[in-house]
Amino acid sequence: MIIFPDLPNVQVEGVEVAEEITLTLRTTSPTTPCPSCGTASSRIQSRYTRTLRDLPSVGRPLRLIMHLRRFCCKKSTCAQKIFVERLPDLCHPHAQRTKRLQQALCELGLIIGGQAGADVGSELGISGSRDTILRLVRQSHPSAHSEPHVIGLDDWARKRRLRYGTLICDLELGLPIDLLPDRSVETVCAWLKKHPSITVVSRDGSSEYASAIQKGAPQARQVSDRWHLVKNLAACVSVQLTQSLTQLRRAEQAEANTFDEQQPSPQRQSHPRTRGSETSATRSSSGANSSLRADYGTATARDEKH
Ligand SMILES: [Zn+2]
């Protein structure tokens, strides 16, 4: 039975299902090439067993027990007299995990980090220690070791409010490239001096980082990183909007006051004499009322005469 479509020369000899699934495999190819000279050889020198961890199957961890062979190289001038057959599509030489399991652990490490990746992987049946995951992440991006040109600096908490380190990322590759034990000017400056290729450094508003860059990489242009740029922009916009809102409310109140002053009040609309009569009438005694009525009668009689 062949269960590896990309490995036609691997045959399953046994399956054991318990808390984990164990597959016993053996290779069937009649010859295998020497890794040094490429000469195909069929001369088996000895056999040995290799154990590999693979991706889980039906929710259970999967272990592969591989029965492999050692061959003698046929080429007399080859320095490699004896070699073991390799399965480059399945695993790297000397690896304890298959390539696909290593890839899964690497993805976990890239997405959620070493320790978190180890914890989640353990739950999913793709166990690997924190150090293993970090090693796989480093090995997966050899280009990250080339000299960086555009980097980002930021601090990270080893212990919140007590101990901080510095995380350095290559912004062109989008990858972390180094961790410094602290965020002091001396440490960051020393690291920058070892990388004279750096032309742009993105950082937060820390004056210590600014000083370290000025000393360690004076040729580099310092720019504010996007996160802090957006954070500061949001704070400025918030202050500006608050001020504008206060000004708008004041202007609205001032306009309302001006409108009220320009509009004649009901008291101003009434005739002063009438108003005075009403006021007097309100406050007057019966004698005063009689006097007003007498005045009104006199005026009416005078008007009728005219
Ligand atoms: Zn050879």
Give the mean model confidence (pLDDT) for residues 62-89: 92
Query: What does pTM read for this prediction?
Result: 0.52
- Residue 167, strand partner residues: 154, 179
Residue 59, Ramachandran bin (φ over 0: left; ψ between -120 and 50: alpha; else beta): left
Q: For position 201, what pLDDT does the model report?
A: 95
Tell me which residue of 202, 250, 191 sits closest to 230, measured CA to CA.
Answer: 202
What pLDDT is attached to residue 276? 44
- Residue 3 confidence class, pLDDT cut points 50, 70, 90: low
Could you tell me the distance, in angstroms and rounded to a whole number, from the CA of residue 48 to the centre of ligand 1?
A: 20
Which among 202, 112, 79, 95 is positioned nearest to 152, based on CA atoms? 202
Place 268 in a pLDDT band, splitting at 50, 70 and 90. low
Confidence of residue 292 (pLDDT cuts 50, 70, 90): very low
C-alpha 68 – ligand 1 centre gap (Å)? 18
> Is the confidence at residue 302, as pLDDT, over 50?
no
In this structure, what token pair is assigned to residue 147? 């000299």
From the CA of 24, how far away is ligand 1's center (Å)? Answer: 29
Cα 114 to ligand 1 centre (Å): 40
8 pLDDT tier (thresholds 50, 70, 90) = confident
Span from the CA of 123 to the centroid of ligand 1 (angstroms) = 44
With a CB cutoff of 8 Å and minimum separation 6, the contacts of 195 are 147, 148, 151, 217
Say yes or no: domain 150-227 is CATH 3.30.420.10: yes
- Å from CA of 39 to ligand 1 middle: 6
Distances 9 to 12, 25, 30, 69, 305 between C-alpha atoms, Å: 10, 10, 9, 13, 138
**Residue bearing the bigger pLDDT, 269 or 232:** 232
Spans of all domains in the chain: 9-90, 97-142, 150-227
Predicted pLDDT of residue 45: 93
Compute the distance from residue 97 Cα to the ligand 1 centre, in Å: 27
DSSP bridge partners of 82: 72
Q: Report the separation in Å between the CA atom of 81 and the middle of ligand 1, taken as the mean of its atom positions.
A: 7
pLDDT of residue 58: 87
pLDDT of residue 291: 44
Q: How far is the centre of ligand 1, averaged over its atoms, from the C-alpha of 35 (Å)?
A: 7
- Reply yes or no on whether the pLDDT at 93 is more than 60: yes
Quote the mean pLDDT of the chain. 84
Can you tell me the mean pLDDT for 268-281?
Answer: 47
CA of 42 to the centre of ligand 1 (A): 12
